[in-house]
């Protein structure tokens, strides 16, 4: 889901970056202002975890690969703003040091995986909790809800990436009609992205999110993070 | 709170599993791979794909160490820097406390 440079037109990248930028600034300010000492340690540990889970590529049918992201876990554990900030840092390092995702397309990747994914996943988690605080629900149930939320968040992000890629051949073609950037249209990009994310990558995200949250409750870490 | 670090530690051990999957993720093919698939290199893509060519550890490989050990060390470098930056973001706040 890390869109490299060249697959999106500069115009698409500028729009995505312009949408994402104010949220990233806000996320940094909120994290810097409000986070406590114990929570910042925990946030650092799960940020490292988010980086690492993305290195565990899963073979997918059709010869491609996919992986979990971990930003919904960050949002459920620490709130949306710290999650947006932390995942942005992960994506920045992946792009700069490891060539995973482009520089010009960084805004789009932040929009997909560091903004829409944690926010949508968190929203679904809250819906499933029906207004109850986390402590009032059995840890196992919280873990299952979190797993479902991770699955939904990942799939919304994958769909968004597919749309960003798939609109390119409609909007940007050279004078002889060949696509200038991503050559695959929505008809190809949406199933190609969504089917693997609805199955294997989604399952990985659900397991990672649910199991980690269950671990945090079982070991009293969630209490310390309050 | 120290116990929370068990999670990235377990993941670090699992990281080499990521090397089993072959091929690229959909929409992340290198230029040559894509041109083989569609029969041409999209013009705009040719201009943009080399925008950031001085990536030090492309595809999470180290210049001095190959194989799964290099992949793990790349993970330590990346996850470590990410955790450090996030930790620093809360630094002033924790000082004041």
Chain A, nearest residue to B12 by Cα: A52
Average pLDDT over residues A20-25: 98
Q: Which H or E element spans position A58?
A: strand A58-59
The pLDDT tens digits of the residues spanning B50-59 come to 888 889 999 9
Which of A14, A52, A79, A110 to mutate against chain B (most B CBs within 10 Å)?
Answer: A52
- pLDDT tens per residue across span A189-218: 999 999 999 999 999 999 999 999 999 999
Buried b (16+ CB within 10 A) or exposed e, A140-176: eebbbbbbbbbbbbbbbbbbbbbebbbbbbeebbeee
3-state secondary structure of A222: helix
pLDDT-based confidence at residue B93 (cuts at 50, 70, 90): low
Comparing CB atoms, the residue among A33, A64, A180 nearest residue B24 is A64
Nearest to A4 among B19, B28, B40 (CB): B28
pLDDT band of B97, cuts 50, 70, 90: very low
Dihedral sign (CA A4, B8, A67, A126)? negative
Q: What is the mean pLDDT of residues B43-47?
A: 92
Say yes or no to pLDDT of B96 above 70: no
DSSP characters over A77-125: HH-HHHHHHHHHHHHHHHHHHH--S-STTHHHHIIIIIIIHHHHHHHHH
**B26/A102 CB distance under 8 A:** no
Average pLDDT over residues A145-149: 98
Q: Mean pLDDT over all residues of chain A?
A: 96
How many Cβ pairs closer than 8 A exist between chain A and B? 222
CA distance B94 to B85: 14
Contact check, Cβ <8 Å, A32/B93: yes
A7-11, A60-64, B39-43: which has the minimum mean pLDDT?
A: A60-64
**ipTM exceeds 0.90:** yes
- How far B67 CA lies from chain A's nearest CA (Å)? 14
- pLDDT: is B91 or A51 the higher one? A51
Cβ distance of A36 and B23 shorter than 8 Å: no
- Summarize the confidence of residues B39-51 as an average pLDDT: 90
């Amino acid at each position: 889901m890390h869109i490299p440079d060249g697959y999106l037109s500069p115009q698409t990248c500028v729009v995505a970056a312009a949408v994402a930028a104010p949220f990233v600034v806000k996320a940094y300010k909120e994290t810097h202002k409000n986070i406590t000492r114990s929570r910042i340690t925990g946030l650092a540990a799960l940020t490292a975890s988010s980086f690492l889970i993305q290195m565990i590529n899963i073979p997918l049918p059709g010869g491609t690969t996919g992986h979990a992201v971990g930003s919904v876990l960050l949002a459920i554990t620490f709130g949306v703003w710290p999650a947006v900030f932390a995942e942005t840092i992960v994506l920045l390092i992946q792009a700069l040091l490891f060539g995973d995702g482009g520089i010009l397309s960084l805004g789009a990747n932040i929009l997909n995986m560091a903004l829409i994914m944690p926010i949508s996943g968190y929203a679904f988690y809250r819906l499933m909790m029906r207004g109850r605080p986390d402590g009032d629900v059995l840890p196992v149930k919280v873990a299952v809800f979190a797993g479902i939320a991770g699955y939904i968040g990942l799939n919304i992000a994958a769909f968004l990436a597919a749309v960003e890629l798939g609109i390119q051949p409609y909007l940007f073609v050279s004078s002889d009609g060949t696509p200038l950037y991503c050559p695959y249209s929505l008809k190809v990009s949406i199933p190609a992205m969504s089917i693997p994310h609805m199955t294997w990558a989604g399952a990985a995200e659900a397991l990672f999110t649910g199991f980690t949250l269950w671990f945090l409750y079982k070991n009293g870490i969630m209490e310390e993070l309050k | 709170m120290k116990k929370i670090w068990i999670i990235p530690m377990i993941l670090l051990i699992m990281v080499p599993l990521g090397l089993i999957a072959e091929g690229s993720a959909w929409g992340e093919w290198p230029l040559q791979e894509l041109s083989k698939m569609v029969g041409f290199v999209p013009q705009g893509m040719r201009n943009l794909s080399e925008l950031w060519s001085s990536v030090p550890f492309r595809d999470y490989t180290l210049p001095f160490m190959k194989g799964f050990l290099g992949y793990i060390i790349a993970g330590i470098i990346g996850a470590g820097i990410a955790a450090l930056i996030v930790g620093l973001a809360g630094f002033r706040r924790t000082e004041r406390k």
